[in-house]
Structure 1
Amino acid sequence: MSKKRDLLLSTALELFYRHGINSIGINEVVKVSGVAKKTLYSHFNSKEELVLKALEKRHLTFMQWLETKLESTANNKELIDTLFRSLEGWFDGEEPELGGFNGCFFINTSAEFHDNQSEISAYCRYHKEQVRQLIQSKLGGNSEDLLNAICLLKEGAITTAYMTGASSEVIENSVKILRRLEC
């Protein structure tokens, strides 16, 4: 990947994640990155393509981070504890590879795009399915109910922490509920 393309993509992802996709235009990406508009369009055919590539970049970063966090979990208790403590670290700005916490980029993006048939909506669903599959691969036994609960509480924790800023309370409540289901 060329340096200018990477700079454009990193700048777009940062701006989209911090301010929303619909409130950031191509001109703002060009201005902040310091790269010419012509160069942007030589790498990305449209804003939609830039958004898709930003989603892909965030997906790869998030999946690598999550996989690293969960790789040494040996049982469901460790999986739950590690997953939710890692999320809490993200919420509290202690996970530098994920940057400052501004909710879930995929939830935020989905909220801005109402066409469920769009490539952008499809990519957001793909991300969520990949996260679910990763959690499932670490989950002991074959408990679809526990998997569903973990995934729903994870999404709820992300959204609630973003909206309220109460990360510790959200994490404690999520883990407490999952402990009851785990038994």
Structure 2
Amino acid sequence: MDDEEARTRLLDAAEELFYRHGIQAVGMDRIRTASGVPLKRLYRLFPAKESLVTAYLERRDRHWLTSLRTAALTPAEPRARVLAVFDWLADWFTEPDFRGCAFLNAYGELGAAAPEVVRVHKAELHALLADLSPDADPTLADRLLILTEGATTVATLAPGPEPAHRAREIAELLLAK
């Protein structure tokens, strides 16, 4: 196994374990066992748990935002693009392994010690919502971010598409103004 394969296996294991059980509840030995990567190589690639947590969140940020961006940019009409965000959320909320927002979960566990990627992710999400907003309305983007985050939080407690559907209804009202 080369370093790239080892890195991928470690990040796959970290993502599954950190997202399912929490960052603080999962030790490096558990990551090593789940990945099949020797401990020595794990620490060579990720010298501290913090570096693995950051890499996991950075990779999740790229995948999550790419998927959302693709779904939101598929419709041609700006209003439909905004509403596509909530349709995408509804699909995400019904995934069997859905455990809420990995970035808010990380911040909830680590507080101010959370990696900077947590704040960067939220800024990127806000920027995407601003880009989708008709006339690039920053106030609308702020409101859409609150709807997105609120729906995600509610779905964390009661998984299913309903929080996204309710948030979509509110977004429709905001877009009608």
Question: TM-score when scaled to structure 2?
Answer: 0.92
Matched, 1:178 2:175: no
Is the contact between residue 75 and residue 140 of structure 1 (CA under 8 Å) also seen in structure 2?
no
RMSD: 1.6
Per the alignment, residue 50 of structure 1 pairs with 52
Aligned pair partner of 2:133 in 129, 135, 139: 139
Q: Quick one: which amino acid aligns to residue 73 of structure 2?
A: E
Matched, 1:104 2:64: no
How far residue 72 of structure 1 moved from its aligned partner, in angstroms, is 2.3
Give identity over the alignment, percent: 31
Per the alignment, residue 41 of structure 1 pairs with 43
Q: Quick one: which amino acid aligns to residue 46 of structure 1?
A: A
Q: Quick one: which amino acid aligns to residue 61 of structure 1?
A: H
Q: Quick one: which amino acid aligns to residue 176 of structure 1?
A: E
Matched, 1:85 2:77: no
Is the contact between residue 89 and residue 161 of structure 2 (CA under 8 Å) also seen in structure 1?
no
Per the alignment, residue 127 of structure 1 pairs with 121
Separation in 2 of the partners of 1:133 and 1:143?
11
Q: Map Cα deviations across residues 1-56 of structure 1 (whole Å, 9 max, x no partner).
A: 61011101111111001100000000100111111110101101100000000011
The number of residue pairs the alignment matches comes to 174
Aligned pair partner of 1:14 in 13, 16, 27: 16
Q: Quick one: which amino acid aligns to residue 171 of structure 1?
A: A
Separation in 2 of the partners of 1:168 and 1:43?
38
The change in CA–CA distance for 1:119 and 1:174 in structure 2 (over 3 A counts) is closer
How far residue 90 of structure 1 moved from its aligned partner, in angstroms, is 0.6
Give the 3-state SS of the residue equivalent to 1:82 in structure 2. helix
Q: Map Cα deviations across residues 99-123 of structure 1 (whole Å, 9 max, x no partner).
A: 83110100100001122xx461x21
Per the alignment, residue 113 of structure 1 pairs with 110
Q: Structure 1, unaligned stretches of length 5 or more? A: 94-98
Separation in 1 of the partners of 2:77 and 2:132?
8
Per the alignment, residue 164 of structure 1 pairs with 158
Is the contact between residue 83 and residue 171 of structure 2 (CA under 8 Å) also seen in structure 1?
no
Separation in 2 of the partners of 1:171 and 1:40?
38
**Which contiguous aligned blocks of 4+ residues in structure 1 show a shift greater than 4 angstroms?**
none
Separation in 2 of the partners of 1:39 and 1:168?
41
Q: Map Cα deviations across residues 152-173 of structure 1 (whole Å, 9 max, x no partner).
A: 00000011001122x3331222
Q: Map Cα deviations across residues 45-81 of structure 1 (whole Å, 9 max, x no partner).
A: 1000000000111011111111111122333430232
Per the alignment, residue 96 of structure 1 pairs with none
Q: Quick one: which amino acid aligns to residue 92 of structure 1?
A: T
How far residue 132 of structure 1 moved from its aligned partner, in angstroms, is 1.2
